[in-house]
Amino acid sequence: MAKADVLGESLWDAYSNKVTTLMNNPQHQGEIFDAEAEARGNKLIVADFGAESCGDAVRLYWEIDPKNDEIVNSKFKSFGCGTAIASSDVMTELCIGKTVQEAVKITNIDVELALRDDPETPAVPPQKMHCSVMAYDVIKKAAGLYMGVDAESFEEEIIVCECARVSLGTLQEVIKLNDLKTCSEVTDYTKAGGFCKSCIKPGGHEAREWYLEDILVDTRKEMDTEKMKSAADAMAAGGGNFEEMTLVQQIKAVDAVIDESVRQFLVMDGGDVEIIDIKKNDRSIDIYIRYLGACGSCDSSSTGTLYAIESTLQEKLSDKIKVLPI
């Protein structure tokens, strides 16, 4: 929040003049019928996306010249708010005159750009970016019907945020490169999640297959594993002496060994272990651990399992290691 948000923006004031004009008077609203298209020697494609029960629905009509796949005419019908109607209208405008192969390249971002009054000012407030996504989806569906392929085959990558068209690959890369730690950082860097917010976490406007929250957690886990692995690799290569490491390095090294050789067996039995502390004295290096889950109540945790952990750590890191469960 800041001064500009004290009152907050009026939704309709944030619409461009073009959105307002097209909502009041859509140019391509209407239907094309099979018989008409046939009489002109053309093929009619009609595709639906959305439904009244989900708040927005659009029906797209393409009259296509079968000789060159050109969309010679296009109409729409829309159940939706002002921005949905304006987006549908500009979508049909963008389709007319293109071949089906060209039309399929139209994205929701093209639709939104076409609704702007000037190139620098968004045509709709962030939460309404989503309306133009419907246009993108229905075009894919129509093209799929005409070409006899699945609409999903036009998708080259997994799109996590449809509003800003940010792919899974981009997200993972940006998180890793910039060491991003929170979802809002991810939004700042990629714009993903900055519009209808559905892709941030479950429970938003629509259910998604991928969520930023999960992607962030998974990517960071992957980053940790990579770091751990490089630490372990360094150790294996003889580059590191456990006894001379900092506490953080030691914990990482211990965790890496447990991860590699022990954890899977504990997890299999419904348990786990965490490292609480490492204390060094003259005779030994004491590693304090805590058992989690089923391990806590397992008899073997103070005998066999403990021995296995200790001997693995001694072998891999230092023979001075003693493991003490708390």
**Using CB under 8 A, which of 17, 51, 105, 181 touches other proteins?**
51
Select 204 or 293, whichever has its Cβ closest to other proteins.
204
Site string for other proteins, 170-199 (x = CB under 8 A): --------------------------xx--
Annotated catalytic residues are: 54, 131
Minimum separation from the CB atom of position 204 to other proteins (A): 8
Q: Of how many residues is the chain composed?
A: 326
Contact by Cβ (8 Å): 133, 50: no
**Using CB under 8 A, which of 27, 55, 243, 303 touches other proteins?**
55
Distance CA 102, CA 320 (A): 69
Binders of other proteins among residues 10 to 49 (CB under 8 A) are 11-12, 23-24, 26, 29, 31-34, 44-49
**Using CB under 8 A, which of 96, 145, 147, 168 touches other proteins?**
145
Minimum separation from the CB atom of position 103 to other proteins (A): 15
Structure-block tokens of residue 293: 């889950």
Binders of other proteins among residues 69 to 88 (CB under 8 A) are 77-82, 84-85
Helix runs in 211-246, H state only: 212-236
Select 53 or 246, whichever has its Cβ closest to other proteins.
53
Binders of other proteins among residues 203 to 232 (CB under 8 A) are 203-207
- Residue 10: is it exposed, middle or buried by C-beta count within 10 angstroms (0-12/13-18/19+)? exposed
Select 49 or 291, whichever has its Cβ closest to other proteins.
49
Residue 214: C-alpha distances to residues 162, 181, 221 (Å): 17, 12, 10
Phi and psi torsions of 231, nearest 5° = -65, -45
Residues 6+ apart with CB under 8 A from 226: none
Q: What is the DSSP string of 102-167?
A: HHTT--HHHHHHHT-SSTTS-SS-GGGHHHHHHHHHHHHHHHHHHHTS-GGGG--S-EEETTTTEE
Select 24 or 101, whichever has its Cβ closest to other proteins.
24
In the block, tokens 């993972």 appear at 172
Does 163 participate in binding other proteins (rule CB under 8 A)?
Answer: no
Buried b (16+ CB within 10 A) or exposed e, 135-162: bbbbbbbbbbebbeeebeebeeeebbbb
Contact by Cβ (8 Å): 193, 161: yes
Select 26 or 240, whichever has its Cβ closest to other proteins.
26
Does 66 participate in binding other proteins (rule CB under 8 A)?
Answer: no
Distance CA 7, CA 163 (A): 26
**Using CB under 8 A, which of 8, 41, 238, 239 touches other proteins?**
8
Does 56 participate in binding other proteins (rule CB under 8 A)?
Answer: yes
**Using CB under 8 A, which of 7, 53, 238, 268 touches other proteins?**
53
Contacting residues toward other proteins, per CB under 8 A? 8, 11-12, 23-24, 26, 29, 31-34, 44-59, 61, 77-82, 84-85, 127, 130, 141-142, 145, 196-197, 203-207
